[in-house]
Amino acid sequence: MSFAIATPHVAATDAGAAVLADGGNAVDATVAATAVLGVTYPHMCGIGGDLFLLHYDTSTTSVTCLNASGPAPLLASPRAYFERGFTSVPSRGPLAVTVPGAVDGWAKALARLGSRPISSLLEPAIAAAKGGVPVPPNLARWIVANARDLKQDARLASTFFSGVGTPLSAGDVLRQPALARSLERIADRGASEFYRGTLGVQISEAVEIAGGLLRERDLAEYSASWVPPIATTHRGLDVYTTPPNSQGVTALVMLRLLSSLGAHRMQPGSRDYIAAFVTAKRAAFRLRDRHLGDPAFKCTDWQALLDDRSLRREVDPGQPSETDFPPGGDTVYVCTVDSAGNACSAIHSIYYGFGACLVAGETGVLLHNRGHAFSLDHDTPTSLAPGKRPRHTLMASLALSRSGLRYVFGSMGAEGQPQFNVQVLDRLLAGAAPPDAVAAPRILHGRFALEDPPDTLRIEADMGSDVIRSLDQPRDTVEIVPSRSDVMGHAHAIARTRGQLTAGADPRSDGSAIVG
């Protein structure tokens, strides 16, 4: 059997493909690729962020899930923010920082499922950080868009701007020597260096000096968790995703509701499909907002709620979705299948573009801002508490048929991730090959940024003028966005059909797909 990989940056795809071609497995390739993405796409992911991962074992036809999302610091409480004059958790800066889980996630995944040491898998990322990489167009746009926040941190300013304060442009060389040194230390000493070694001490001291709540103990006590995935059936497939505190279950609810609305008889992208999709999305997000949080603090039987009768009792699809969950953010998604048929579906993020906009001292580690997803209201599933994991936008997916693996797929895109996952899957089920399914025009219902009205329906221009003119969404503001817009996420997919692999990388990204 051949192998396949798709990522949002060519260098990451090449790194993962090289591991696969050399006999490495799907998890090995995923670690190598995501490490490179932390260098080439530093606005979207890195070792200062979180990770979720699904793994399909072809020998047992079983799916396992790794939750490598970090909790709030032990000093974090609503009172701690109120005393500092905040009525919400800031979106930037040290008070937005939670424990980064990705590095321990790599270690846990490799220890249980990998075949290569982390030292060899980090070599491409170390070389890229040390020697420099050309700035991709996507990163160049995000530097400009976030220039004001980036300039607040001297280390970020020196990394992403020239000596005269001009943002790096596409094609300019981006060098990150401090990050290279931190990656080398992890390669030499393992993940424990990040959490219980000198590097961990430097990170916690830098956050404390900046006024944040993260401390050495928070890092030292962290451990990524193996958890059961959550699944439902959809058009003859078993669709798996990452369970809460991930929002992946939202996509499963959408799939169940779309089936009840007869969407399987509709062409994806048609007027009728879009109407059914918006109805299902409204209902699924209302259910999410009422129930979804860290299951260690609020346990909900989501598998029971996925029963059609329960959905009809729990959710009125005619009601609008009302959420104040921060929707902004950016992420990378990676999918891999190795020559043995094992698969990995992984998603890695620092949340908002450039995360907290805080580099931890001289480590080169850009920290995420997942704390911003918490509410300081005690009466919500997302209420802040010490040691609690935030509700996560991150989700990864794969689908099995009776014969085994069928699809590996996912997308970045914050609030839009459940919507993009559903649309890509339904395109695949309608007969599209992965390159076409991920490139096809998409819609996004609801907020992308906090200032957006909650009932905006964005639709890419290449959906077609006939479809756009026919839309009847009286409750929504319809906004036409350019074709292949970043606001529609970066989706990637691999399909296995009659033993043959095909793969597609989203043209909205700077990525590529390789089948070898």
Residue 27 has pLDDT above 80, yes or no: yes
Q: CATH class for domain 227-327+394-515?
A: mainly alpha
Mean pLDDT of the chain: 93
Nearest to 490 by CA among 391, 390, 347: 347
pLDDT the model gives residue 462: 93
**The residue to which tokens 């899957």 are assigned:** 425
pLDDT: is 237 or 478 the higher one?
A: 237
**Amino acid identity, position 46:** G
pLDDT the model gives residue 37: 98
What's the pLDDT tens digit per position in 419-477?
Answer: 999 999 999 999 999 999 999 999 999 876 655 677 789 999 999 888 888 887 666 78
Is 331 a residue of the active site? yes
Which of 181-185, 378-382, 455-459 has maximum average pLDDT? 181-185
Residue 307 has pLDDT above 80, yes or no: no
User: Are the beta carbons of 146 and 357 closer than 8 angstroms?
Assistant: yes
Residue 264 has pLDDT above 50, yes or no: yes
Average pLDDT of span 16-39: 98
Residue 478 has pLDDT above 80, yes or no: yes
In the chain, the percentage of residues whose pLDDT exceeds 70 is 94
What's the pLDDT tens digit per position in 74-106?
Answer: 999 999 999 999 999 999 999 999 999 999 999
Nearest to 35 by CA among 22, 18, 21: 18
Nearest to 350 by CA among 148, 33, 52, 47: 47
* Band (356; pLDDT cuts 50, 70, 90): very high
Contacts (Cβ under 8 Å, ≥6 apart) of 290: 381
Q: How many residues does the chain have?
A: 516
Which DSSP string do the residues of 269-285 spell out, in sequence order?
A: TSHHHHHHHHHHHHHHH
Global pTM reads: 0.95
Q: Helix (H) and strand (E) counts for the chain?
A: 20, 18
Pairing of β 477-481 and β 456-460: parallel
* Band (317; pLDDT cuts 50, 70, 90): very low
What's the pLDDT tens digit per position in 232-245?
Answer: 999 999 999 999 99
User: Are the beta carbons of 76 and 211 closer than 8 angstroms?
Assistant: no
Residue 332 has pLDDT above 90, yes or no: yes
Alpha carbons 298 and 386: distance in angstroms, whole number: 14
Q: What values do phi and psi take at 74, rounded to 5?
A: -65, -20
Q: What values do phi and psi take at 121, rounded to 5?
A: -70, -25
Considering 242, 331, 336, 363, which one is annotated as catalytic? Answer: 331
Which DSSP string do the residues of 46-75 spell out, in sequence order?
A: -TTSEEEEEEEETTTTEEEEEEEPPPPPTT
Three-state secondary structure call for residue 111: helix
In the chain, the percentage of residues whose pLDDT exceeds 90 is 84
Q: Structure tokens of 515?
A: 């089948």
pLDDT the model gives residue 2: 93
pLDDT the model gives residue 447: 74
* Band (308; pLDDT cuts 50, 70, 90): confident
Could you state, in order of their start, the residue ranges of all structural domains in the chain? Answer: 227-327+394-515
User: Are the beta carbons of 57 and 174 closer than 8 angstroms?
Assistant: no
pLDDT the model gives residue 424: 98
* Region class of 252: left (phi > 0), else alpha (psi between -120 and 50), else beta: alpha
Q: Is the dihedral of CA 184, 185, 190, 193 positive or negative?
A: negative
Average pLDDT of span 105-121: 98
pLDDT: is 500 or 315 the higher one?
A: 500
Residue 111 has pLDDT above 70, yes or no: yes
Q: Reduced to 3 DSSP states, what percent helix, strand and coil does the chain have, rounded to the nearest 5?
A: 40, 20, 40
* Band (319; pLDDT cuts 50, 70, 90): low
Residue 192 has pLDDT above 90, yes or no: yes
* Band (329; pLDDT cuts 50, 70, 90): low
Q: Is the dihedral of CA 453, 457, 462, 466 positive or negative?
A: negative
